[in-house]
Amino acid sequence: MRRVCAEALAQGALEGIASASRPLGLRPGRARHSLIRETYFDTREGALAENALSLCLRLDADGGQILELTRTLSVSLAGVAELGTLSAPVVQGGMYATLQGDSELATAVRDHVDPV
């Protein structure tokens, strides 16, 4: 997944982006709103941030929980960041049980937080 985050400083920039034609024939759908709470985690020493990683626990209004590990792959001279993302549903037992599991996300977090 790639995300592009940029400031829209010029007057009307957001309206221009929203009304522009979509790539690959995609069409805008109806506007949706949902309640999401995101909580970010790191070690006291900042082991994840030191490795350009962020760990987010995302809770939606329906009670669903997903862990998401985002890695900054590159940043262009214009400040556009390319991100890589791993996600895993939170298992019975919560976030810590999920991080003790064998998912790719859990393994990646352990590799940086608790290297052997």
Q: Are 82 and 58 a contacting pair, CB within 8 Å?
A: no
Question: Model-level pTM greater than 0.75?
Answer: no
Average pLDDT over residues 29-54: 86
- Residue position matching structure tokens 């937080």: 113
**In contact, 5 and 81? CB cutoff 8 Å:** yes
What pLDDT was estimated at residue 62?
85
Q: Is the pLDDT of residue 54 over 90?
A: yes
Alpha helical stretches, state H, 20-73 = 47-50
E strand spans, 50-114 = 53-60, 65-75, 81-89
Query: What mean pLDDT comes out for the span 68-87?
Result: 87
pLDDT on residue 110: 92
